[in-house]
Amino acid sequence: MAEPPAQTPKQVTVIGHPLVQHKLTLMRHKDSSTGKFRQLAREISLLMAYELTRDLPLETREIETPMETMQAPILAGKKLCIVSILRAGDGIAEGMLDLVPSARVGHIGLYRDPKTLEPVEYYLKLPEDVGERLVIVVDPMLATGHSAAAALTRLKQAGATQLRFACLLAAPEGMKVLTETHPDVPVFTCSIDRELDSHAYIRPGLGDAGDRLYGTK
């Protein structure tokens, strides 16, 4: 696991579970096939979801077991909404849905304007009651942080009030942008890597997550 920066913001959680770190190392390996990479992304995303949902509120409900009735804990209120930042975010969302199949799913599409270098929204589809749900925004890589910050801003405009962001890898530069723009949003990542290179790739990183998930170049 890459060492987090000395001044990691309090809102950032680096998930150090041994299984998460083991699977992340396998994902980083350049010889991992598309199928293997996709499988690992799904597995590690499910494990991340445990951390992201650790404090969900519970209520009790009377049920009948084969032996007797009892008051049993069950999730309270509206369930989750997982919002994928297209396209690579889908590789993370699918694994989380294995754990919480009842979650609603939203999508947001952003591209970088070649002249201004600012994120431009081209697609947005969210559940109508997004404001009543805990929204987990997912994208494998937090590089410059601008797309993630723009996505969170747009979701707040759409009424979301309970937001969390999850990624496999983060660069210190992107983490700084995201946490300064949205200091109220908890961030979960499996590693904060060393730096961005001149092409805005995370180093040591794992390459382009979208290309590795879908076998494209």
Q: Give the residue ranges of the annotated binding site for uracil.
A: 202, 207-209
Distance in angstroms (rounded) separating the CA atoms of residues 72 and 77: 15
Which of 53, 112, 154, 194 is labelled catalytic? Answer: 112
Burial 53-87 (b: 16+ CB within 10 A, else e): beeeeeeeeeeeeeeeeeeeeeeeeeebbbbbbbe
**54 is known as an active-site residue:** no
Catalytic hit among 60, 203, 211, 216: 211
Closest CA to 152 of 178, 117, 122, 116: 178
212 is catalytic: no
Q: Is residue 208 flagged as an active site residue?
A: yes
CA distance 96 to 101: 8
Whether 133 is catalytic is no
Which entry of 31, 54, 55, 116 is annotated as an active-site residue?
Answer: 116
**CA gap 86, 72 in Å, rounded:** 38
Count of all residues that appear for the chain in the document: 217
Which residues participate in the annotated binding site?
Answer: 87, 112, 139-147, 202, 207-209
Could you give phi then psi for residue 104, rounded to 5 degrees? -80, 160
Strand boundaries in 76-179, DSSP class E: 81-85, 104-112, 119-125, 134-138, 141-142, 162-170
For residue 34, give both structure tokens: 């598309």
Which residues are part of a known binding site for 5-phospho-alpha-D-ribose 1-diphosphate?
87, 112, 139-147, 208
Q: Give catalytic residues, as residue numbers.
A: 112, 116, 208, 211
